Chain A
Amino acid sequence: MVHISDGILDPLLWESGWVITAIILAYTLSKMKIEDVPKLSVITAAVFVASLIHFQFGPTSVHFILNGFAGVTLGLLAYPCIFVALVLQCFLFQHGGVTTIGINTINMGVPALLAYLLFKYGMRFDLGIKQKEILFGTLGGGIAVALAVLFLSIELATTGEEFFEVAIFVATAHIPIIAIEAIFTGITAGFLATVQPELLCRR
């Protein structure tokens, strides 16, 4: 949904998308220990499977985007996770485009990294409430999708005046998903905090 197909964006945008993704990927991969590969892969597979689950919410069929969730659980490694998930999505289901994998990874991955930072630093505040994970999970999850949609809309709008209306259309269509993703990430963060706290990334 948030990933954009081929042939729409200005070439300059998706070309620089590849360059930036290559740089962030190189950096995050260098931060990744080789022992993390099997673990990260299994979790990437889980992100992939969970994002396939469509369900009815109100009048529309939605599915999870999970970039905020990836950030909260995987930290920096959310970026390679999202990259791998997008490539496999493109290969297996032809969701999103080929030339746009770079920029799509930015649209989802950069907000994921921001959600991670928000969660990490947010958890350090003493707010006097019990489950801060729920609060910052909700914020991280919502903000990650909102930013992804914002990035996409800006890219569409800068591509040409013809896309102005499309950008607004895309942005409005995603408002319920932002809410859903925020609730989802809040619930799961709270759940993980009690069941498997080491899955939440506080490093």
Chain B
Amino acid sequence: MISEIDRYAGLSSPIHRWDPRLRIVSILALIFSVVLLYNLTLVTIGMIFSIILVYLSKIPFSFVLDRLKLVFVLVLPFFLIIPFTTMGTDTGVEIARFYGITLSYRGIEAVGFAAMIVLKALTSVMLIFPMIGTSRMDITIKALEGLHLPNKLVQMFAFTYRYIFVLDDEFVRTERSLASRGFKRRGDLYTLTTVSKAIAMLFVKSYERADRVFYAMRSKGYSGKVVTLHEFDSGRQDWINAIAVFGFAVLLQVAAMSGAFSIYGGI
């Protein structure tokens, strides 16, 4: 059930070799920068840059596209609803009229606006792949510690990540045992109550497991701090990469503020 974002962490690429701490900070800055833009041209430039990053990371595009599909489905309503509602309420300056459909200046503007929203959503998701997908999830979590996130949070990330897989297996077993006794999910109340109880049981089991895990940790001397031996080091190349990506993020903002590339005054 759980597919792994770090499936391609074992590849070797400039992005993979980049110190995860600097990589996360720089790409995160780029994501924020793109999302802050309200200019279709700049968003498109940002997207092209992101595609280049994905290309450099050698993560297969098919893998990325597979995930983008879902995002696309989620943001599609915006693309479909916005232009029509805008057109419907106020036609603005009429440009052309075919077969009774009015194409107005505001209509084009709204399509541009909707396209921008979709592109931003896609770009930010696409950037997650070079950001997170280029090292193993555990290294990423350690990098968060290296970035001085609160210790409690980092521990929660690490342990939660570990137990997602254990509990997923456990739920699959519960489901099989339900199925082997003739249970089939239908769209009715009986299904809902049965699934609810199965999930409640999952919680009871995980609560008991939580106790045992805590005992095991205490038996190994846990007193609230998790330290690992992993060390990050960043050399010249890591900083060059960081300056390039972070610099690009800043550049986008500067361009937006200077008003360059704005086709539609309002957006």
Contacts and interface: CB of A to CB of B under 8 A. Distances in A.
A64 B119 CA distance: 28
Contacts, number: 214
B13 interface: no
B124 A99 contact: yes
Interface string B157-200: 11111111011100100000000000001110101110111011
Contacts of A48: 160, 164
A52 B2 contact: yes
Contacts of A64: 199
A29 B137 CA distance: 23
Contact of B199 (A53, A85, A165): A53
B74 A5 contact: yes
B186 to A, nearest CB: 7
Contacts of A119: none
B77 A8 contact: no
Contact of B203 (A32, A43, A85): A43
Nearest to B168: A49
Contacts of A94: 67, 70-71, 125, 128
A37 B32 contact: no
Contact of B197 (A88, A93, A191): A191
A192 B166 CA distance: 21
Given A42-B210, A43-B210, A98-B31, A184 B124 contact: no
For the complex, would chain A's binding face be called helix, strand, loop or mixed by DSSP majority?
A: helix
Contacts of A73: 203
A7 B35 contact: yes
Interface stretch (B15-23, B78-86, B95-103, B242-250): B78-86
A55 interface: yes
Contacts of B191: 55-57
> Is the contact region of chain B dominated by helix, strand, or loop, or is it mixed?
helix
Contacts of B31: 6, 98-99
B48 interface: no
A34 to B, nearest CB: 4
Interface string B204-226: 10110111011001000000100
A11 B36 contact: yes
A99 to B, nearest CB: 5
A91 B140 contact: yes
Contacts of A59: 187
Interface residues of A, number: 63
A192 B224 contact: no
A68 interface: no
Interface in A154-184: 162-166, 169, 180, 183-184
Contacts of A5: 71, 74-75, 121, 124-125
Nearest to B151: A34
Interface string A74-116: 0000001001110110111111011100000000000000000
Interface string B63-94: 00001001100110110011001100000000
Q: Which 4 A-B pairs have the closest CB atoms?
A: A7-B120, A41-B159, A34-B224, A45-B163
Given A32-B152, A92-B137, A99-B31, 4 more contacts: A7-B124, A45-B164, A97-B125, A191-B197
15 contacts: A32-B152, A39-B213, A41-B163, A42-B207, A55-B185, A58-B187, A93-B67, A162-B110, A166-B77, A166-B78, A183-B192, A187-B200, A188-B203, A196-B204, A199-B207
Interface of A: 5-8, 11, 25, 29, 32, 34-35, 37-46, 48-50, 52-53, 55-59, 64, 73, 80, 83-85, 87-88, 90-95, 97-99, 162-166, 169, 180, 183-184, 187-188, 191-192, 195-196, 199
